[in-house]
């Protein structure tokens, strides 16, 4: 009786042996008559790479949007605010001093806020007027660090105004120009209600990078704003800054005893922008699910590729089995083949996704210059630049998902290869 003693390199080991890796990679290099298998393998590889890259890019852009919007919203407005229910809040300096004593509160500034009509050069538009002290406005870095014209020292004058870049373009205003503000409520006279107007000289123009602010915000001195809106000795509210804007609920509890009985309400940035950030979160989750489907489809391509490969290599599998290769070895051979497609696709997709995310705004500008069309309109997307913020944990999650799906997709064809009867395979060849 002939007994075959398998060579040393074909013995099973705890990990993938050199023999198994050699056979797996040899099978992936299809011969001419196996061209269709090679094509499907390439499609599987490209599908996984595309899915991983798309997921990383989309997640990075969504994170960038949220981070930039949050930074600009918090940078322009307080983390919390105390607003008067009657329109005017007297005794605001004493209240602000009490607020600053609370641990974790880094600032409390009085504010006059109201809507008005801005008029210049026969053009008119609605504006949001913010009355602030010069020192408080200078401390707001999103304004003081982004002045493209003028300087903060000019804001000390009673008739000074600092406006956004897009508002200046809309009204044709430059440094030293005049903007006329018209209050929504006029002055009662013997001849009826007359519009309440006042002209301000442009002391500076800022570019905050967010369309909502650049297009409508007008900053004027606090005392001028109090007179313009006829608030007397009061203000409309107090803006409060904290050391952790994510924990506003904790600070609201500390503020409650200070405002009890004062007919005011406490408002935080999360309440003011709840729907906006909720929409971004929903869109981000939906895009994650949709783009994960690309990887799932590519995983099904891996299954079909390996099944066709098993069928085509039936004779080779039978010969290897008769030479001493075990079922476990054959299963690992095809598992390595399928997993290699997924691992290489995930690697290439990760590199491409990261490179694209890190250079996305430059790529946008290049495409716009070549096509002659504006791809990212600030009026639609709120921001003037396309942001991207790569989160390492999310990148790892995407890669793990791609690898897991590919590994799972490789199991069934590998099992079929291991279960192939060598006698039957040789009989039908």
Model confidence at 8: pLDDT above 50: no
DSSP string, 324-336: T--HHHHHHHHHH
The residues with which 97 forms a beta bridge, in sequence order, are none
Contact 198/182 with Cβ under 8 angstroms?
A: no
Average pLDDT on 79-103 reads 87
- 3 band by pLDDT with thresholds 50, 70 and 90: very low
Q: How many CB atoms lie within 10 A of CB 292?
A: 18
Write the Ramachandran bin of 59: left for phi over 0, alpha for psi from -120 to 50, otherwise beta: alpha
List the structure tokens of 340: 């290699």
The count of residues in the chain is 429
E strand or H helix at 59, and its extent?
A: helix 35-76
- What mean pLDDT comes out for the span 49-72? 84
pLDDT single digits (tens) 335-368: 888 888 888 889 999 999 999 988 888 887 787 7
- Of the listed ranges 210-214, 221-225, 314-318, 381-385, the least confidently predicted one is 381-385
Q: What is the pLDDT of residue 117?
A: 92
The pLDDT of residue 201: 93
pLDDT at 160: 93
- Please, which pLDDT band fits residue 281 given cuts at 50, 70 and 90? confident
Distant-in-sequence, close-in-space partners of 138: CB < 8 Å, separation ≥ 6? 144, 152, 155
More confident residue, 135 or 189: 135
Decide if pLDDT at 186 tops 70: no
Q: Please write the tens of the pLDDT for every residue from 232-271.
A: 888 999 999 888 887 888 888 888 888 877 888 888 887 7
Alpha carbon distance 156, 221 (integer Å): 7
Q: Give residue-wise pLDDT tens across range 386-423.
A: 778 888 888 999 999 888 988 888 888 888 777 776 66
* Residue predicted with more confidence, 220 or 284: 220
| Rounded alpha-carbon distances, angstroms, from residue 352 to 28, 345, 358, 359, 405 | 23, 10, 10, 11, 20
CA-CA-CA-CA dihedral for 24, 26, 32, 38, to nearest 10: 40
Q: What does the longest C-alpha to C-alpha distance in the chain come to?
A: 126
In this predicted model, what pLDDT tens digit does every residue of 104-141 receive, in sequence order? 888 899 999 999 999 998 899 999 999 999 999 988 88
Question: For residue 4, is pLDDT > 50?
Answer: no
Residue 133 is predicted with a pLDDT of: 92
Q: Which two tokens stand for residue 323?
A: 């030479």
Backbone φ and ψ of 256, nearest 5°: -55, -50
Q: Which two tokens stand for residue 108?
A: 């409390």
Q: Which band of pLDDT confidence, cut at 50, 70 and 90, is reported for residue 187?
A: low
């Amino acid at each position: 009786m002939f007994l075959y003693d398998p060579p040393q390199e074909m013995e099973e080991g705890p990990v993938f042996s050199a023999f198994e890796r050699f056979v797996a990679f040899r099978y992936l290099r299809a011969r001419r008559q196996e061209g269709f298998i090679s094509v499907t393998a390439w499609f599987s590889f490209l599908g996984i790479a595309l899915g991983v890259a798309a997921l990383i890019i989309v997640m990075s852009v969504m994170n960038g949007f949220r981070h930039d919007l949050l930074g600009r919203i918090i940078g322009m407005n307080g983390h919390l605010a105390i607003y008067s229910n009657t329109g005017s809040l007297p005794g605001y300096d004493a209240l602000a001093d009490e607020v600053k004593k609370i641990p974790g509160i880094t600032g409390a500034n009085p504010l006059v806020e109201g809507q008005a009509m801005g008029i210049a050069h026969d053009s008119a538009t609605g504006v949001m007027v913010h009355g602030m002290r010069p020192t408080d406005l200078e401390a707001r870095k999103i304004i003081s660090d982004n002045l493209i014209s003028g300087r903060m020292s000019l804001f000390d004058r009673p008739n000074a105004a600092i406006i956004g870049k897009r508002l200046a373009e809309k009204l044709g205003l430059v440094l030293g120009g005049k903007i006329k503000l018209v209050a929504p409520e006029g002055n009662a006279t013997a001849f009826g209600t007359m519009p309440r107007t006042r002209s301000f000289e442009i002391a500076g123009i800022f570019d905050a990078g967010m369309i909502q602010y650049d297009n409508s915000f007008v900053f004027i001195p606090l005392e001028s704003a109090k007179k313009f809106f006829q608030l007397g000795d009061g203000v409309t509210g107090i803006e409060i800054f904290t050391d952790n804007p994510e924990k506003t609920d904790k600070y609201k509890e500390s503020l409650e005893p200070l405002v009890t009985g004062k007919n005011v309400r406490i408002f935080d940035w999360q309440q003011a922008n709840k729907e906006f950030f909720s929409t971004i979160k929903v869109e981000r989750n939906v895009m994650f699910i949709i783009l994960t489907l690309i990887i799932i489809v590519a995983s099904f391509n891996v299954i079909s590729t390996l099944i066709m490969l098993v069928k085509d290599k039936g004779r080779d599998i039978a010969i290897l089995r008769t030479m001493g290769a075990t079922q476990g070895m054959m299963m690992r051979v095809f598992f390595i083949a399928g997993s290699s497609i997924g691992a290489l696709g995930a690697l290439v997709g990760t590199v491409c996704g990261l490179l694209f995310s890190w250079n996305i705004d430059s790529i946008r500008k290049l495409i716009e210059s070549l096509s002659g069309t504006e791809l990212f309109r600030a009026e639609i997307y709120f921001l003037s630049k396309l942001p991207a913020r790569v989160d390492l944990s999310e990148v790892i999650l995407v890669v793990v998902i791609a690898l897991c799906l590919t590994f799972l997709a490789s199991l069934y064809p590998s099992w079929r290869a291991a279960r192939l009867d060598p006698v039957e395979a040789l009989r039908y060849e």
